[in-house]
Structure 1
């Protein structure tokens, strides 16, 4: 019900936040509504299929899915790739564009737990070499994403991987070393890019008059939107910031429009929905007897709920602009389809929980 609530509310807010920009482009203001609705329908089909796939089926096909995800991500560096806001992370298929990294998030959640769990017993004999294959493939996926300058998505993949390594009983010594290397890598990538560095300084420093129209512009207008919403908001459809003041109003910064039009109450409802998702998945993960299911559920929780918290943190100014959408809510076909597929995956895995399995058998 939380997924349904977020998805339906997201369709409404995508329509509300995109009407002005669509009209300004000379297309129907209902275009985003129609496309988002279509992607929801496709995502539901993917979710239904994912719900029916047995656990052993995922274990057999996920290594090939990971290889495929890396190859598809690598295509973004070819002439088929498309630059959006400085990131080369999209593929132009002619009739539509897709973001392969969203598929990679899904695949990492189902592949990495199984790959790590299968090698735990070999560590005593082989040492770190036992994890060489999954580590190499995982790092290769990260490189494919960061090659397109998409640090935000790379960080989400790092969070998912961290959850998998942590829950899989990966050796703590190497866990600490890997964490240090990952943090150092992210910091190096952040400070080596003038654009990323300006975003960080704009978030945690003071914006000058010149920055107010450049690097600080988006975050400032996001705060204006939330501040003007008050407790109950200005009403659905009555946003002022969506009048081409706030860039990406229907994508990465849709939470700002939610705050403006529905106020504190609307924002709180969205956060509560994500809290319910986290509670449900973590509660089942702690009770289920299958270790692989536990690890996958924790990874999906970090992906969906963690990414939502990062998105909200960016909008309210806690984090610099990272360019990650809000799951189930932001406009975007790749994100919507894969998030709904992940929801279907979770429903299928939850059936392994003894109480849920018993209640289904009784019915």
Structure 2
């Protein structure tokens, strides 16, 4: 069982610092690469709807949806940059309670506002001309709050269920308000994040069995409570034992057609066919299928490799950061960003029932982009707070600038 414990920067402090610094570098590079891939693929996936909109209304701006993703990306970079500059101790305090409370209030506002939601999930809050998805920001708030609450407990206290009452209540409150909106997919990601953080903090596996059984039972009730969910689960098991139905394909089968058409190198960016008519949610939950069709196996493996590298970088920060808060924050970020990514990819590949979660940094969605970049910003701030990391980056930056100047002069 991986238990994250505080450690002093003594003789092995330099190796820890170097590991954190390398982890941060990998996190930033992989995040930038995933964002770039995402922007390109959002432009490609939204091309059909954009062209149809312009044909119907010539005054409509071409690629307006994709341009909103560009704006959201810049907003996310600013948000993440601000969080990176703030001292980690600011959130490793009672401010974490305020962050979780605000997230819960915004999610409750969704329920008060009412409405039919999207795809049966009431998870959007209209604020003037803007529509935000509070559950994405609640993920960030819950990770910060759990890192603060669990980081205060000793290993002995964490292994005693009685001392975990308050963290469990906070998690139950967060997942509860999301579940009330009917968004089962997002609720499952909340459960993944929280259980992973409790386990990394040192909670015994036997103490997690009962919450997992209860969670599985409640998930089953959620499935049978709505015919559309029950149909998705039925389609999943049917697809496992039957060949694709070419006359009445399911959403997953359309995704499989896209992967099959892409082959090894893909049909070319923008040249995919499934996104035009058959593949629903091509720019959001099923953008991974568009990648498979247009960039092929090469694109699929590239995206998988980038998320594996992102997970490795977060792992290096989590296991080498000297403070429990930073360790658990990085661990929670890995559970969210990488766990959700692989859940999305498994769904699109037909290896899990469809439950609708975006592919981080790649799927269209302003709230998701801003929240995930905020998470990366907080990880960067925690990594830079390790003694010697910020100074080492400054020295290397000055050295690189000196080398460039020397090259220009000699050139």
TM range, normalised to the smaller chain? over 0.9
Q: How many angstroms does 1:217 deviate by?
A: 2.6
- Alpha-carbon RMSD across the aligned residues, in angstroms, is 2.4
Structure 1 match to 2:143: 109
**For residues 361 and 233 of structure 1, do their structure 2 counterparts lie closer, same or farther at Cα, with a shift above 3 Å needed?**
closer
Give yes or no for contact 2:114–2:122 (8 Å, CA) kept in 1: no
Q: Secondary structure at 1:92's aligned position in 2? A: strand
Q: How many angstroms does 1:31 deviate by?
A: 0.5
**Is the aligned partner of 1:74 residue 2:108?**
yes
- Stretch deviating more after TM superposition (176-185 or 7-16): 176-185
Q: Secondary structure at 2:266's aligned position in 1? A: coil
Which of 36, 40, 44 is equivalent to 1:16? 44
Give yes or no for contact 2:88–2:385 (8 Å, CA) kept in 1: no
Q: How many angstroms does 1:132 deviate by?
A: 2.3
Q: Deviations over 1:297-320 (max 9, x none)?
A: 011001001111011111110011
Contiguous gaps of at least 5 residues in structure 2: 1-28, 397-411
Give yes or no for contact 1:76–1:89 (8 Å, CA) kept in 2: yes
Give yes or no for contact 1:82–1:91 (8 Å, CA) kept in 2: no
Residue correspondence of structure 1 range 1-80 to structure 2 within 5 A = 1-25=29-53, 26=56, 27-60=60-93, 61-79=95-113
Structure 2 match to 1:322: 355
CA distance in 1, matches of 2:381, 2:297: 34
CA distance in 2, matches of 1:355, 1:237: 46
Provide the TM-score with structure 2 as the length reference. 0.82
CA distance in 2, matches of 1:275, 1:171: 26
Q: How many residues align?
A: 361
Which of 163, 174, 183 is equivalent to 1:150? 183
CA distance in 2, matches of 1:65, 1:57: 11
CA distance in 1, matches of 2:247, 2:77: 40
Contiguous gaps of at least 5 residues in structure 1: none
Which of 244, 254, 262 is equivalent to 2:295? 262
CA distance in 2, matches of 1:318, 1:29: 35
Structure 1 match to 2:228: 195
Q: How many angstroms does 1:176 deviate by?
A: 2.3
Structure 2 match to 1:174: 207
Q: Deviations over 1:68-110 (max 9, x none)?
A: 1011001111235551011001112241211111001111111
CA distance in 1, matches of 2:83, 2:283: 28
Give yes or no for contact 1:288–1:352 (8 Å, CA) kept in 2: no
Give yes or no for contact 2:113–2:125 (8 Å, CA) kept in 1: no
Provide the TM-score with structure 1 as the length reference. 0.92
Q: Deviations over 1:172-201 (max 9, x none)?
A: 443222222222222232233322121111
CA distance in 2, matches of 1:33, 1:339: 18
More relative contact order in 1 or in 2 (CA 8 Å, sep 6+)? 2
**Structure number, greater radius of gyration:** 2
